Structure 1
Amino acid sequence: MNRPNNWLRGAIACCALVLVACGSGTRSADGPKSGTLRMAFVYATTSQNPFQEMALGAAAGAADAGDIDLTETAPPGINGPQEVSQFQAAVRTARDGIAMETLTPDLFVRPLQQAAAAGVPLATVDTVPPAGTKVGLYVGNDNTELGRSLATEIIKQIPVGTTGEVVLGNDIPGLDLLSQRLEGMKAVLQEQRPTLTVLGPFDTGSEPTDNYNKWNNTVKAHPNAVAYLGAGASDAVSLALIQKNTGRRLLVGSCDPDSQALAAVKDGYAAALASPEHWLKGYIAIRLLAEHARTGKPLTEGWWNPGGLIINAANIDEIIARQQNDQSRRQWFADAAARQLAAPADYLRPLSEAK
């Protein structure tokens, strides 16, 4: 009579040993974890600079936190359904935390709900978590302020009383964060240069070829505009190429430190870039998730705004040097990252205020 019970106890013990051997570490449901953490960064596309920067920052955050098996995954082009599938795969393996960035947040309502229900710690990066998902941590910019800072820099080259058109371009119409940047630009132009006529924003496309073609058509339709301002990563690149192809000089401002956009500032084809400092966002998100897993303390909640940076002729050489490789980025951002992680209250606001 005792043999079946002994066999059952032995089988349970073997299964427990297998589970421990296969696990990456040990942690009670709410306690700290030892051993290798299994985490992931899931993002919109590998094809564009903003998302590449976030992924580099996430990798550096994992390296600095130590003993993290970080999976980074994204579609080769913007593809919301494919990214959802990649996120769902990460939920099955990256049980210690997932940072997620997307350009299609509406597709992630249910996947994020399911991940939270499964007990996976979550943070969204760059895009505010969609309503109803119970994601409590968002690491992203004040995009309205980012747009205002770009317009404030550009109008230094537009005398008070100037008349004419300023053309605005939106890489992804309907994406809130880009709309917020453009709202910030428009507000400054209307407040400080009310004699200008602000046009747009026009759809300028996200992928590089589409962006160039749409900006080319827009410039042809408005050839005498005082300035051309974009909200995304490809805009300065496209507008610089248009200038090279036509021999004209335009007043251009855009966002993101794409290497070609930096070259445009260096060569005088773009007056300024407003960098959302994407690298720092990926870094901070992974470090906060890792701290939660290691210590067992509640995951930081709220909107963590790491700030932005205006790139112009005064600091272009420094930023080009910063962007040379992974190590140069890590060295440049080291002080800012340490300062922010040491004083969370200085960078946190209620999630409801994110914009």
Structure 2
Amino acid sequence: MKRLAKALVCLPLLLVVSCQQKDSAAPPPTPAGTSSSSAPKLKIGYVLHGLNDFTQVIKRGAEDAAKELGVDVEVVGPASFEATEAIGMFEGMIQKKVDGLAVIPMPGEVWVKPIKEAVDAKIPVVTANITSDGSASEAWFGQDEYQSGVILAQEIRKLLEADGKKSGKILAGVCKPGVAVLDERYKGFKKGMEGAAYSVTDPKDVGTENTANYSAWENQATANPDMVAAVGFCSMDIPNLAKLKTRSNGKWLVGGYDLNAETLEAIKSGNTQVSLGQHPYLQGYLPVLALVRHLRDKLPLPKGWVNVGTEIVNKGNVDKVYPRETKRDEETKWYADHVKKSFTDLGTLAKPLPKMHP
């Protein structure tokens, strides 16, 4: 699979890039409980790139899909976001002889060999959130990372202009430099700022560990007292930026990614202005759905990219989004309806991966 130049609506400001497809002639997945009682349950493994609030949403999506489809799923991931640990877990799944595997392959280049090992063992593999360039996995589930950066830049520009700030420095932070999806977000953000009088800093390394992430942002804010906005490209950034802004009485705007409870509460309080959601629930649910349809219903796996969409959340719609993102029953119901409406035929939805930007 080609590297994604890239590990997060039905509402007024939702931008779903994927097309809404009508029901196709493809047979639906076998409903839970309809297979022969003597047939063993399919066993699906899902290896996350790490464990935090964001990936817990992916886990819930995978588990809901398994429950709905009547299969077993085991979702694992390293606490430290270390690829070597994740690969060890993946190889353990191969040895367990699971029927299918989903993985978030961060960074993509180190996953080519493990994915090949699984495919050689006749275990189908799909990827989500991050792609693995040149791997044997052909199906990927995620958003257009570059375009999401463009969207975020456009939102920040509108907010700054409404705040009377026509120019100034925007501080950019990346939790894992060199990861394709984050590079793409940053490049898209820079593109979206073209033609404006704002200057965007080089992407500062702010780390993935929560305490270290806060300290890194604190150091950067001290070093850039003239900034008009701080933008983070990872899920842990906005919660820490919101805390820092409160403690330092900062006057700068905050924008970034993902819709965990702390981020949504920061938007509700006014400490954060905008965040982009990437439907992590779907990044858990749809890979399991695709594998079950392939293994049990004999449908081919999607070939290419299934776009989960990008969602803009700000003060105008946060109250509508908040229940779905913070209450388990509402999350399950909302996404069950969304999958039925928008992801009936994954094969038809699949298209070439977004191109990588230099």
TM-score by length of 2: 0.84
Which of 341, 344, 349 lines up with 2:343 in the alignment?
341
Counterpart code for 1:166: I
Partner of 2:177: 173
State the Cα distance separating 1:106 from its structure 2 match: 2.6
Alignment of 1:205-216 (within 5 A): 205-216=207-218
State the Cα distance separating 1:40 from its structure 2 match: 0.9
Partner of 1:72: 75
Aligned-partner Cα distance in 1 for 2:353–2:317: 32
State the Cα distance separating 1:253 from its structure 2 match: 0.2
Partner of 2:205: 203
State the Cα distance separating 1:352 from its structure 2 match: 6.9
Unaligned runs of 5+ in 1: 1-25, 28-32
State the Cα distance separating 1:237 from its structure 2 match: 1.0
Counterpart code for 2:75: E
Alignment of 1:93-242 (within 5 A): 93-131=96-134, 133-159=135-161, 162-191=166-195, 193=196, 195-242=197-244
Alignment of 1:269-284 (within 5 A): 269-284=271-286
State the Cα distance separating 1:161 from its structure 2 match: 7.9
CA contact (8 A) 1:142 1:354 kept: no
Partner of 1:250: 252
Aligned-partner Cα distance in 1 for 2:97–2:176: 30
Partner of 1:303: 305
Aligned-partner Cα distance in 2 for 1:252–1:95: 43
State the Cα distance separating 1:353 from its structure 2 match: 4.1
The change in CA–CA distance for 1:161 and 1:78 in structure 2 (over 3 A counts) is closer
The change in CA–CA distance for 1:186 and 1:202 in structure 2 (over 3 A counts) is same
Partner of 1:60: 64
Structure number with the higher helix fraction is 1
Aligned-partner Cα distance in 1 for 2:188–2:354: 19
Aligned-partner Cα distance in 2 for 1:259–1:212: 17
CA contact (8 A) 2:343 2:349 kept: no
Counterpart code for 2:46: F
Partner of 1:5: none
State the Cα distance separating 1:171 from its structure 2 match: 1.0
Partner of 2:43: 38
CA RMSD of aligned residues (A): 2.1
State the Cα distance separating 1:50 from its structure 2 match: 2.2
Aligned-partner Cα distance in 2 for 1:116–1:171: 31
CA contact (8 A) 2:107 2:132 kept: no
Tell me, yes or no, if structure 1 residue 50 matches structure 2 residue 54.
Answer: yes
| Structure with higher RCO (Cα < 8 A, 6+ apart) | 2
Counterpart code for 2:56: Q
- Show CA shifts across 1:215-256 (max 9, x none): 111111111211111111111111111111112232010101
State the Cα distance separating 1:87 from its structure 2 match: 0.3
Counterpart code for 1:172: K
Which one has the largest radius of gyration? Answer: 1
Deviates more, 1:95-104 or 1:344-353: 344-353
- Show CA shifts across 1:121-159 (max 9, x none): 11001111231x211111111001111111211211222
CA contact (8 A) 1:128 1:138 kept: yes
Aligned-partner Cα distance in 1 for 2:47–2:127: 10
State the Cα distance separating 1:354 from its structure 2 match: 7.1
State the Cα distance separating 1:109 from its structure 2 match: 1.7
Counterpart code for 1:175: V
CA contact (8 A) 1:145 1:184 kept: yes
Counterpart code for 1:227: A
TM-score by length of 1: 0.85
Aligned-partner Cα distance in 1 for 2:95–2:124: 12
Counterpart code for 1:55: K
| Count, aligned residues | 320
State the Cα distance separating 1:313 from its structure 2 match: 0.6
State the Cα distance separating 1:347 from its structure 2 match: 3.3
Counterpart code for 1:52: Q
State the Cα distance separating 1:346 from its structure 2 match: 6.0
Query: What SS does structure 1 have at the residue aligned with 2:65?
Result: helix
Aligned-partner Cα distance in 2 for 1:224–1:249: 10
Partner of 1:19: none
Deviates more, 1:336-345 or 1:275-284: 336-345
Identity %: 26
CA contact (8 A) 1:40 1:94 kept: no
CA contact (8 A) 1:61 1:286 kept: yes
